[in-house]
Amino acid sequence: MHKTRRNIISVLVVIIAILFLVPLFMVLINASKDNNSIIQFPLALPNDWTILWKNIVSIWTNENVGYPKALFSSVLITVVSLTCITISSAMAAWVLERTHTKTSRFIYYMFVAAMVIPFQVVMFPLVKWFNEVGGFLHIPLLRSYFGIVIAYMGFGCSLSIFMFHGFVKSIPLGIEEAAEIDGANKLSVFFKIILPILKPTVVTVVILNGIWIWNDYLLPSLVLGKGTAVQTLPLAVSNFAGAFLKSWDLMMTAILLALIPVVVIFVSLQKYIIKGMVDGSIK
């Protein structure tokens, strides 16, 4: 009975995995066809896989798409945002957990409460606030790298602080006290002791936020705008779809190129996701 149930669960897992992989497979096979083949035989395998390389070259060199520039912008925004979110969230969680006051508990609960606020509620006030504050400080928050990084920090820190806070509780306070006795200051304690211990949660935070930032369309469309100098890959693909709606081969290739980096990173580091989430939630 136990073996039969296990076999049924295995079959269900395989079926679910196939269902999730079908969209990726469809994008791959259709990116390896010309436009007419996609329209006539969307489910058929490509006759010539070398068409995929031709489509990649077309996407890369097409000035209307601006793929190399969009790729650079996405990489820069993702890397800088992840660095800021990870360091600031880990620091905040460490201080909030070690400072046992009513103020620290209140601030922590405010971060936790922020996780349940829908983005749609604050997206238009966010744009208005960015415009007003940026004008007052003479700092361009809209249509700039700085503004989109600040926005991602605001929306990404709540969950990250929650995960780091749970893990910091498992770190013995005596380790920090011993380091301070040896002459280490607070920054040295954090970067040389606390942050290395937080590695499992750091990897999880980086993966979860990285996938979100890399694939996000709504926030860049509000803060950066479509057709501006700073464009991420989702915005570039969207602009390309609007300009060349009938070029399904190039559209599929653009989507495939945007998917490849995040899929490779996720598959390479997936074993850390569950470990980091469990460590951060129950320790």
CA nearest to 163, candidates 103, 268, 216, 85: 85
Query: 235 CB contacts (<8 Å, ≥6 apart)?
Result: 70, 217, 220, 221, 224, 226
Per residue in 156-198, pLDDT (tens digit) is: 999 999 989 888 888 888 888 888 888 888 888 899 888 888 8
CA nearest to 201, candidates 274, 134, 152, 253: 274
CB 243 within 8 A of CB 64: yes
Which whole-number Å values give the CA distances from 87 to 73, 77, 78, 162, 192, in the listed order? 21, 16, 14, 14, 13
Same domain as 138, residue 39: no
State residue 243's pLDDT score: 56
Q: Give the CATH number, domain containing residue 84.
A: 1.10.3720.10
**How many domains does the chain contain in total?**
2
SS (H, E, C) the chain: CHHHHHHHHHHHHHHHHHHHHHHHHHHHHHHCCCHHHHHHCCCCCCCCCHHHHHHHHHHHHCCCCCHHHHHHHHHHHHHHHHHHHHHHHHHHHHHHHHCCCHHHHHHHHHHHHHCCCCHHHHHHHHHHHHHHHHHHHCCCCCCCHHHHHHHHHHHHHHHHHHHHHHHHCCCCHHHHHHHHHCCCCHHHHHHHHHHHHCHHHHHHHHHHHHHHHHHCCHHHHHHCCCCCCCCCHHHHHHHHHHHCCCCHHHHHHHHHHHHHHHHHHHHHHHHHHHHHHHHHHHC
Same domain as 163, residue 278: yes
Same domain as 40, residue 153: no
Which whole-number Å values give the CA distances from 136 to 78, 132, 146, 147, 222, in the listed order? 27, 6, 16, 14, 20
pLDDT tops 90 at residue 7? no
Per residue in 65-81, pLDDT (tens digit) is: 778 888 899 999 999 99
Say how many C-beta atoms besides its own lie within 10 A of residue 232's C-beta.
27
pLDDT tops 90 at residue 213? yes
State residue 85's pLDDT score: 95
Q: What is the mean pLDDT of the chain?
A: 84
Segment 120-125 shows an average pLDDT of 84
Q: 44, 61, 78: which is the final residue of a domain?
A: 61
Which whole-number Å values give the CA distances from 185 to 161, 178, 182, in the listed order? 22, 11, 9
pLDDT tops 80 at residue 271? no
* Structural domain containing residue 10: 1-61
Same domain as 214, residue 75: yes
Per residue in 239-265, pLDDT (tens digit) is: 766 655 567 888 888 888 888 888 787
Segment 52-71 shows an average pLDDT of 82
Our CA dihedral for 58, 59, 62, 64, rounded to 10 degrees, sits at: 140
Same domain as 104, residue 8: no
- pLDDT greater at residue 279 or residue 218: 218
Which whole-number Å values give the CA distances from 244 to 59, 63, 64, 141, 238, in the listed order? 12, 13, 10, 31, 10
State residue 277's pLDDT score: 56
Lowest-confidence range among 62-76, 87-101, 207-221?
A: 62-76
Rounded Cα distance, 118 and 128, in Å: 17
Query: 92 CB contacts (<8 Å, ≥6 apart)?
Result: 111, 157, 161, 164
Same domain as 264, residue 205: yes
pLDDT confidence bin for 83, thresholds 50/70/90: very high
Q: 61, 91, 106: which is the final residue of a domain?
A: 61
Same domain as 100, residue 2: no
Same domain as 187, residue 269: yes
Same domain as 19, residue 137: no
State residue 84's pLDDT score: 95
Same domain as 202, residue 156: yes
pLDDT confidence bin for 18, thresholds 50/70/90: confident
Lowest-confidence range among 8-12, 32-36, 140-144, 241-245?
A: 241-245
Same domain as 55, residue 142: no
Same domain as 134, residue 41: no
What is the pTM (predicted TM-score) of this model? 0.84
- pLDDT greater at residue 46 or residue 92: 92
Segment 34-41 shows an average pLDDT of 82
pLDDT confidence bin for 274, thresholds 50/70/90: low
State residue 32's pLDDT score: 87
State residue 245's pLDDT score: 58
